[in-house]
Amino acid sequence: MSTLNYKNLDYKDFRFPGEFEPQEAVIIGWPEMAECVKGYSLHQAFAQLIKIIVEEATGITLYVNCPKEEMLISCKATLEKESVDLKKIVFTSYPDGSNWTRDYGPDMMVDDQGNKVLANPEFNMYGQSTIDSVTSQLCARFGPHLALEMGYRDFVNSSLITEGGDKEFNGKGVLMALRDTEVTKRNPEMTTKEVETEMKRLFNLERIIWLEKGVFDDELTTSGVLDYVDGVPVYRSSSANGHIDEFCRFVGHNTIILAEVTEEEASTLNSHRITKERLDEAYEVLSKATDVNGEPFKIIRMPVPEPFYIHTKKGDWINDTWTCRYGEGGDFLDDGTPMPHGDMVMQPALSYCNFLILNNIVIAQSYWEEGKPESIKKLDAKAIDVLQEAFPDRKIIPFVSTALNIRGGGVHCATKNVPKAKK
């Protein structure tokens, strides 16, 4: 248990605002690798995302972290190719174990007097390492570093292991999270009640809405084959091992966007069938849930993307590192299928719910590019319509996120919002 470091403040006055509330900054970590698969430039995709924020977002300070000098050089060079105004970016160079700042970047809380405090939990690389590993420690220290950079001097620490991508706040005392992730996968030595008690303490919450499991696509890669398509096994390219921001988001104090798999879609793929069962269960929970005042939530349904696949070969980072990252030396995956080697067919971490909310815009993930089926284009348009319904006063900006999704993340995963502390 920790208290505020030195100010005479009452921690119970602080709250974690909803992402749809006013923001003062957003943080992005520049990726070290240029591409995961040949033909999908991670650097170019990040540069295009940064360009949208620089040119379209109002009232936002953009921080871009480049832990190494060579990364800063490559970052600036790529941004200049995309005609990004570098003077509108604050570049930092703190050590970082990854580049998914959503998950271990600073969890900033504010009160109504303009004060700021950092809620500071532990991190263990998505349940795949220990909190004292080198990579986990680099990530865990990143949040406090950036908090200090932005003027946050008070921290409240916790031994709870949790990630930003699995926490959705409504800004008024309610959190949505996955029980399978927060308890079973991240804090297995704790009971649900113990995890809930600590989350309520750390984030000043009155209520937690527990959804059981995330979408099947977001299971750990070693869990097995995602689907068989024309008799060929399809594997997940990478995943966060259970995050709610892949399928369920607060878009207002009393409004939730929840992904939906249709009956027709569920009949085409095993992964869709399993995901539909989980989303139907989530809908049942949310339709009965209320806010702290006993008011029900409005639920808006979001389509799921049409699956498409990438063919990876030796020499592609995502292929060369797949077995060493997820079970080198083992002969079988968790579902009993053989550990794959050589050429592999993979599905990126596709989602229309992994969008980023800023003061005046929403950056939406989209997938249609020249040469892809018109059905993908239609689903992209439908997803944008859903976001426009949820955010009538914001501009919805589509962003082709495939390169980020191959790496296992997305637009929301790659960014960390910093709420505005109002006086």
Domain presence at residue 407: yes
User: Count of domains in the chain?
Assistant: 1
Domain presence at residue 222: yes
Quick check: 105 and 64 in contact, CB under 8 A? no
Question: Which pLDDT tens digit goes with each residue over 318-349?
Answer: 998 886 655 555 688 999 999 888 899 999 99
Buried b (16+ CB within 10 A) or exposed e, 75-100: bbebbeeeebeeeebeebebebbbbb
β-pairing, 298-303 vs 255-260, is parallel
Domain presence at residue 2: no
Alpha-carbon dihedral of residues 143, 149, 150, 152, nearest 10 degrees? 70
Quick check: 390 and 399 in contact, CB under 8 A? no
Average pLDDT over residues 121-125: 97
Domain presence at residue 4: no
Question: Which pLDDT tens digit goes with each residue over 25-81?
Answer: 999 999 999 999 999 999 999 999 999 999 999 999 999 999 999 999 999 999 999
Hey, what are 271's tokens? Answer: 């992964």
pLDDT band, residue 6 (cuts 50/70/90)? very low
Can you give the pLDDT at residue 321? 84
Q: Determine the residue type at 389.
A: E
pLDDT band, residue 1 (cuts 50/70/90)? very low
Look up the CATH number of the domain holding residue 325: 3.75.10.10
Q: What pTM does this model have?
A: 0.96
Domain presence at residue 218: yes
Where do the DSSP E strands lie in 83-216?
89-92, 107-110, 116-122, 155-161, 168-169, 174-178, 207-211
Domain presence at residue 8: no
Domain presence at residue 296: yes
Domain coverage including residue 407: 14-419
Q: What is the mean pLDDT of the chain?
A: 94
Domain presence at residue 7: no
Q: How is residue 222 annotated by DSSP?
A: G
For the cut 80, the answer to whether the pLDDT of residue 160 exceeds it is yes
For the cut 60, the answer to whether the pLDDT of residue 389 exceeds it is yes
> Quick one: which of 301, 326, 397 has its CA closest to 55?
397
Q: How is residue 414 annotated by DSSP?
A: T
Can you give the pLDDT at residue 256? 98
Question: Which pLDDT tens digit goes with each residue over 81-99?
Answer: 999 999 999 999 999 999 9
Question: Which pLDDT tens digit goes with each residue over 202-242?
Answer: 999 999 999 999 999 999 988 999 999 999 999 999 999 99
